[in-house]
Structures are given as C-alpha cells and as structure tokens.
A and B are shown apart, each in its own frame.
Chain A
C-alpha cells in the first residue's frame, strides 16, 4: 500500500505535470498556431451575451405537407376524370380526407393514388397509409415515421438557415445547436440586445412572385374566387389585393439579393438575381403578362405589386417598396439565407450584459479565493503536516480540474464556480477521512507504517462509497439539468473524479516519500 515503484511514482507525477500543461492555455496565449490550445469556455452568464431557445412550429410543417398532398391528390385524379366531392386536409389527424362523387370509382381512385406513396423510410416503410372507410371516404394518413423524419429534416434545415442569417449579421462565434425534437438553441456571445436577430429569425421569409387577379374585387366583405386570395398591401390604408394562389416563381430560385439605392429616385431597393430555372420562368411570365400587375409576396404579405412594363429576360430584377436602409438590408439578408421550412418562435430568452458578467466573475473569483484560503488554513490548523499534504493535493486538484475542463472544452458558469468551491470541500473530506483513520490506527497501537497502511486502505473504501453516491446524483443533474445548472454538474463530476485521484494517489505518494525520508517514530496526526 505504501510502496510505490519508480514507474508508478513517475506516472502519478506525470499525470500532475500533464494536467499542469493542459491547464496552461487558460493563462497563456498560444505560442504557435498548430498546437491544440484548448481552454475552458466562459458561459454566457459570465461573458455576457444572449441565449435564445427557439421552437420550430411543427404544426406548420405538417400543414405544409398536407397541403401539398391535397394538391397531389387533385392532380392524380385529374387524368382519369375521377370527380370528387371534397378533398381536405385534416390537420389534427395528420391526414387528407377524400370523398368521391361516384363511389363506384373508388378502385380507380385508389389505383391513381397509389403512386403517391413513397417507400423512402427506414425498412422501406411507406410514408402514407391509404385506407377506405365504410362510408366510401378515402383517407391518406401520414405515417408517424415519415412525419418524424420530415420534422427532423425541418429542424435540421432550420438550423442551417438560422446559421446563415446570423452569420450575415456579423455576430462573432455564434453557437447554434439542436435541442430535443423541435428546438434550436442559439447562443450569441457579446450580444446585449438581441432584438434585431430575433426579428431576423422571426420571419420564415418565404418569397413568391405571383400574378395579381385584376378582375377580382378585394373590397371588404367579398370572398375571393377560387384559386385567388386576398393579401395585405404594405400601404397605410390597409388595403387588400387579390393575388393568385399559383406561385409563378419561387424565392428558392434566388441566387443573390443585395440592398442598394435606385439611381433615379434615390430610394432603397433590393436587387436580386435568379438561377437559370428561375430566370427562365421569370422571363416567360413577364413576357406573357406585359401591362399586368405582378405581386412580390413575402410571408403572405405583399411587398409590392408593380405593373410589368416589359419582359425581364436577364434573370435579375429590383424590388422597391418604401424600404429604409435597414429594412432593405434585412430583406436582402433573409432572401440570401433562404426561407425557413416552418416559423420559429422564441420560447426562452436569457440575455446578460457584459458588465453583469464581469461582476459575476469578480464575485465568483473572490468567493473562490476566500473559500480556498479558509480551507487551507483549516487543514493546516487541525492536521499540521498531514494538513499541508492535503493542501498541496487541493492545489493539484484545482489544476487537474482546470485541465480536464479545458480538454473537454467545458463551459464554466457561475453555478459552475460554486461547484468548484464545493468540490474543494469534497476533496478535503477525502483527506480528512484518511488523516482521521491513520490517527485512529496509530492510537490503537500500530507502528507508523502499519498505521499508514491501514489508514489508507480503510479510508479508501469509505471515500469510494461516499463519492460514488454523490457522483451518481450529479450525473443525473447533468442529464436533466439545463444551461448554467449543467455547468454546475460538470464541475462537480469532474471534481469528484480528480479529487479521488489526488486523495488516493498523490497524498499516498507524498506521505510515503515523507515516511521513507524521515522515518518518524510517531506520526504527527
């Protein structure tokens, strides 16, 4: 127990030195760029910044899928001249309901709908279940597997778009991660007022170019004719305009969008460019509809609806519509980044200004230092030399914690600092257990070496049992906690691990070296 081979002693010291090396990056700048220079990250509560938890509107994802399914059903039935009474999306049941005019054509309809089913899920699972009810209605239900896959893809795609939009704003080091099934965490270091970013992320920015139905009357009270909807115009009078539902060119075909000013009027505009597909369709539409109005629709609001003066064949154009410099810029950013597959809502926001973060760091550091000094004084006072062994281990423990946290690139939060302080107490507990046990064994009349042997051995069982229970409960905290609390659990779990090492290995090594050198008749515990 008290004997250490050269190799073992070297290994223990090696771990301590390696820990020291790993924790260096936190206090020194990287000397050369190729060295892995990992440091502990400061949490937003210490550094200042904004944390946004956003939820992807899954209902919208399902709705969009059902709407397109309705269109697909209509198109599938058209060639066979199968007429239907109703075809509607039922959002709550995740299905489309179809009633045929002539029940005798059910089989023909089923045959026509067959190709809509796609087997692209895992194990070739179908994404649609087509069933006939006893009353002759046909239902097309989205399978849960396909829905999940779609939802998952929507979140993934949203993360990508969110990242592009935020990158455009010039925030340094944003972190965008997925949380759970339908949420996205956006962390913005150094952002004191996340309003602009919230606004940018709050729009799906789905842009469409559609023809205006000039014959329809969009006055209040009138209901729109089939295939047409009344959309809000941007002007103050709050007028509405009749726009065809059919999308002529989709914003997804844009390749670029930039804010600029119109050379003649000096007003702010957004210049855009289409890819080849978009350019061709844009050219066709404008050629066929000269002198008709063409609406630019963003998220169900008409931005502008100019009259087409001449065919636009270059594949680029200009949107003007009472923009300011800011709003033109934001629209350009949104168009460049692309549309979100579903709306995002902020469900949690935590913003901390940098000065409050600095205050927290100061408060944390003072408490940490004070607690550290108190513990060191306590151990020296009550345990003398063996207390100093413990104190040395405590310092090494702190270094090792820092090293492990840097290696894992863990995040240090204010509760995390409290966790470090608590770990100091826990680490000292291991040494107190050892010292008390050695003292007890010596008082029972064992000679020094035997007292050390037994003291360490017996104390070890206790240290292990008591720490294991704490360790388990903090792993739970890490799994179920969130944000700063997770940081707390991380520091405690790491601290327990390192304190087991220092108490069990390093203290024993120190004591054994001391014993070999001094050979005392009586242990000063």
Chain B
C-alpha cells in the first residue's frame, strides 16, 4: 500500500485498435447529439428561475407538510397547484410563481405569499426566496451564452496556437457535441437549468478539453517521433499510451464528484449528476470522437512532409 502500487487500471502495452471503431463512435455520437437537440426543443429544458424569471420560495414546516392546507392558504394568490411541490424531504415545500408583469408586482407577490404562509401555517418558515425579474433573467441567460461561446473560442484559439488547426477544430467540434449531449441529459432528466448548470457545463467543457489536450499532446509528440507510421496507427498508439492516465484521471474526478451527488443536498446534487455524466461523455469523446476527427482532417495534411527514414528517438542522455 505504501510503496508499490497495488494494481494498474489498464495493463501496459495495450494495442486496442480504437480507430477501427471510429465510424461507430461518430455515428453513435451523432445519434445522441441529434436526439439531444430534439430533446432541447421538445420537451425543452426545465428552465430555472435564473433564466425564466419568476419567484421560488422554499418553505420548511414542523413535521410533514400539509399540502392541502398550504394550497388553501395560497389560493388567493393565484398559484397553480403544481406550483406547490415537495422538495428534498417531507417537511420542505417549494412554491413557484411565474414572472409578474412588473418588477414591483414581483415584490408584492413575494410579500403576499410570505404573509399568507406565516399567518395560516403553524411553524412554517421561509428559508429561501429567489425572485428574478424578467429583465435580469434574460440578461443572465445572455451572459451564460456569452460565457459558453467565448470559452469555446478561447479553447479554439489556444489549441490552434499550440497545435495545428486540425487539432483545434477536432477539439472544438467534439466539445460542441459534448455540450449538446449534456443539454440533452438536462432535458431528459428534467434537472433544472439555472446559472449553476451553466457552471457545470463550463466545467465539463474545461475537463473535456483537458482530456483532449492530453491525447493530442501525445499525438503531436509521436508525430515527431515516428515519421512514417500511418496516422491511424499513430493515433491508436497515442491513445493506448495515455490510456492509464485517461482512465485514472476520469476515475478520480468521477469518484470525487460522486459524494457531491449523493450528499450534496437538493440544490447541488443536480450539478454533480450533470458533472458525472459530463465526465463519462468527455472521456469517451476524447477517444471515439476527437481522435477520429483528427484522423479525418489530418490524414493527408499532417503527413505532408513525410520523410522516409525513421527519425532517431529524442536524446535519451540524462543531464547531470
């Protein structure tokens, strides 16, 4: 336990022919992403109030909540029945109100619900109020999209700068596919899409980029090392060489996130589940999407200066 590693995640010198599955990988990914786009339109995302605007109030009661009574107390406030829901446990209730016509109306609605609850339900406590006006919600949504778009551009620019354009395009196309899948996952699970989810998606983006850069970095190194190896074999080799790291890192991040999903409480567990999904997608897309795209884009171009001699391996003499 203390000196020698107990075991390896994957044996050394694996020779999986990952690129044999390139068509299958791309097709599966295309299907999943298309399905995600469809899910995005129907039923669509379950927009949280950050983006839809409106009011959410979390109420705690002594003992199990009496929904009949709460709905009765709020009858005067024109709250639809589905606007009163159980949240997390039996004594926590979530009340939702749609966007009010004016900002002042929002404030009036908040204080009406507050007084209606506190006067008619014994021991009811309002532990959270989120009220977002229409102007703010559309701004938050726009800023979220900006953050996403600019992040992608920065990643594109950075990889282009450090690698070749084929790598940059491969990475960004894969990232876009990853993000669509995450959005499909959100639409499917009905997890509320709010600002925190934008953070989750950006983290998936960061994590996934990280993963792609590691594989690409090895491809770049091997391109210099093996001047005549066909790109397809070279990519396979690079993925196999980095397999232990890829699995190791994704497993640690996955395991680090798991407690968050389980113990994180109602407000953060949604974030953690999206992260877990994103880690699986991000890891597999490095191998089955980003690498094949690189193969398609680079088959001719990355090998244009092929020299017919095996280059000697980079100097192996250690410095003192």
Q: Give A285 to B103 CA distance when docked, in angstroms.
A: 40
Q: A466-B214, A472-B158, A485-B195 are in contact. Are A422 and B256 (CB under 8 A)?
A: yes
State how many angstroms separate the Cβ of B78 from the closest Cβ of chain A. 20
Instruction: Decide if A18 is an interface residue (CB 8 Å cutoff).
Output: no
A200 to chain B, nearest CB (A): 13
* Contact B252–A480 (Cβ < 8 Å): no
**Contact residues in B for A485 (Cβ distance below 8 Å):** 195-196, 198-199
Q: Is the CB of B154 within 8 A of A473?
A: yes
Interface residues of B, dominant DSSP = helix
Does B2 count as interface, using CB distance less than 8 angstroms? yes
Given known pairs A350-B129, A366-B259, the reply for A360 and B265 (CB within 8 Å) is: yes
A482 and B143 form a contact (CB under 8 A): yes
A440-480 contacts to B (CB < 8 Å)? 440, 443, 446-447, 449-450, 453-454, 458, 461-462, 465-470, 472-474, 476-477, 479-480
Cβ B252 vs Cβ A384 within 8 A: no
Residues of A within 8 A of B111 (CB): 195
B256 touches A353 (CB 8 A): no
Contacts of A386 in B (CB 8 A): 5
Distance A450 CA – B6 CA, assembled complex (angstroms): 24
- List A contacts of B136 (CB < 8 A): 53, 347-348
CB-based nearest A residue for B153 = A476
Chain A residues within an 8 Å CB radius of B251: 378
A484 within 8 A of B: yes
Is there a chain A Cβ closer than 8 Å to B80's Cβ?
A: no
- Of the candidates A3, A421, A481, the one whose C-beta lies within 8 Å of that of B195 is A481
* CB proximity of B310 to chain A, nearest CB, Å: 16
User: Which of B12, B242, B256 is within 8 Å of A443, CB to CB?
Assistant: B12
Q: How far is the CA of A489 from the CA of B195 in the complex (A)?
A: 12
Smallest Cβ distance from A58 to chain B, in angstroms?
13
Please determine whether B203 and A422 come into contact, CB atoms closer than 8 angstroms. yes
A255–B177 Cα distance when bound, in Å, is 65
Bound CA–CA A198/B104 (angstroms): 11
Given contacts A371-B260, A421-B260, A432-B248, contact A484 B103 (CB under 8 A): no
| Cα–Cα distance between A489 and B199 once the two chains are bound (Å) | 8
> Chain B contact residues (Cβ within 8 angstroms of A): what range?
35 or more
Are B267 and A429 neighbours in the complex by a CB distance under 8 Å? no
Question: Is A116's CB within 8 Å of the partner chain B?
Answer: no
**Which of A202, A364, A525 makes the CB contact (< 8 A) with B268?**
A364
Chain A CB within 8 A of B213 CB = yes
Judge if A425 is at the interface, Cβ distance under 8 Å.
Answer: yes
A1–B318 CA distance with the chains assembled, in angstroms: 10
Q: Are A483 and B195 in contact (CB under 8 A)?
A: yes
Asked whether, in the complex, the Cβ of B259 is within 8 Å of the Cβ of A370, the reply is: yes
Instruction: Please determine whether A449 and B60 come into contact, CB atoms closer than 8 angstroms.
Output: no
CA distance A53 to B132 in the complex (A): 9
- Across the interface, do A381 and B4 meet the contact criterion of CB distance under 8 Å? no
Of the candidates A367, A381, A466, A470, which one forms a contact with B259 in the assembled complex, judged by CB atoms under 8 Å apart? A367
A466 to B259, CA, bound (A): 25
Interface residue? A349 (CB, 8 A): yes
Min distance, Cβ A483 to any Cβ of chain B, angstroms: 7
B34 proximal to A (CB < 8 A) = no
Determine if A366 and B263 form an interchain contact, defined as CB atoms under 8 angstroms apart. Answer: yes
Interface presence of A524 (CB below 8 A): yes
Contact indicator per residue, chain B 154-166, by CB within 8 Å of chain A (1) or not (0): 1100110010000
Cα of A366 to Cα of B45 in the assembled complex, Å = 30
Q: Which of B125, B210, B213, B252 contacts A379 (CB 8 A)?
A: B252
- Is B207's beta carbon under 8 Å from chain A? yes
Q: Flag if A387 contacts B260 (CB, 8 Å).
A: no
A426 within 8 A of B: yes
Given A348-B136, A453-B319, are A469 and B260 also a contact pair (CB < 8 Å)?
A: no
For residue B131, CB closer than 8 A to chain A, the reply is: yes
| B255 and chain A: residue at smallest CB distance | A374
A343→B99 CA distance, assembly (Å): 21
Q: Considering only CB atoms, which chain A residue lies closest to B211 in the complex?
A: A466
Q: Report A-chain residues with C-beta under 8 Å of the C-beta of B176.
A: none
B265 touches A469 (CB 8 A): no
- A345 CB within 8 Å of chain B: yes
Mark interface residues in A255-269 (1 if CB within 8 Å of B CB, else 0): 000000000000000
Whether A345 touches B207, Cβ cut-off 8 Å, given contacts A378-B255, A428-B249, is: no
On whether the beta carbons of A462 and B195 are closer than 8 Å, the reply is no
Q: Is the CB of B248 within 8 A of A348?
A: no
Cβ-neighbour of B202 out of A424, A465, A467, A473 (below 8 A): A473
1/0 contact string of B135-154 vs chain A (CB within 8 Å) = 11000100110110011001
The one of A415, A422, A473 in contact with B257, judged by C-beta atoms closer than 8 angstroms, is A422
Determine if B199 and A462 form an interchain contact, defined as CB atoms under 8 angstroms apart: no
Residue B227 is within 8 A (CB to CB) of chain A in the complex: no
Bound state CA distance, A158 and B217, in angstroms? 54
Q: Are A367 and B263 in contact (CB under 8 A)?
A: yes
Interchain CB contact under 8 A, B151 and A363: no
Contact A371:B255 (CB < 8 A) given known A348-B133, A524-B5: yes
B200-241 residues with Cβ-Cβ distance < 8 A to A are 202-203, 205-207, 209-211, 213-214, 217-218, 221, 241
Partner of A363, one of B213, B221, B242, B265: B265
Chain B residue with Cβ nearest A357: B127
Residue of A nearest to B115 (CB): A195
A407 at the interface (CB under 8 A from B): no
Q: List residues of chain A with CB within 8 A of the CB of B86.
A: none
Q: In the complex, are the beta carbons of B256 and A425 less than 8 A apart?
A: yes
Q: Among B4, B9, B106, B255, find the residue whose CB has the most chain A CB atoms closer than 10 A.
A: B255
Partner of A375, one of B1, B213, B255: B255
- Is A193 located at the chain interface by the 8 A CB criterion? yes
CA distance A429 to B244 in the complex (A): 11
Say yes or no: B114 contacts A350, CB within 8 Å: no
* Residues A488 and B267 in contact in the complex (CB < 8 Å), given A385-B3, A450-B318, A473-B154: no
Give chain B's interface residues, CB within 8 Å of chain A.
Answer: 1-9, 12, 58, 60, 103-104, 106-107, 110-111, 114, 125-133, 135-136, 140, 143-144, 146-147, 150-151, 154-155, 158-159, 162, 195-196, 198-199, 202-203, 205-207, 209-211, 213-214, 217-218, 221, 241-242, 244-245, 248-249, 251-253, 255-260, 262-265, 267-268, 271-272, 275, 316-320
In the complex, given contacts A53-B136, A348-B133, A476-B154, what are 12 additional A-B residue pairs having Cβ atoms less than 8 angstroms apart? A345-B104, A346-B133, A356-B128, A418-B264, A421-B257, A425-B249, A425-B256, A432-B249, A449-B318, A466-B211, A473-B205, A485-B198
Q: Residues on A close to B: CB < 8 A?
A: 1, 3, 53, 55, 192-193, 195, 198, 202, 345-353, 355-356, 359-360, 363-364, 366-367, 370-372, 374-375, 378-388, 414-415, 418, 421-422, 424-426, 428-429, 432-433, 436, 440, 443, 446-447, 449-450, 453-454, 458, 461-462, 465-470, 472-474, 476-477, 479-485, 488-489, 492, 524-525
Nearest 4 A/B pairs, CB to CB: A370-B259, A425-B253, A450-B318, A353-B127
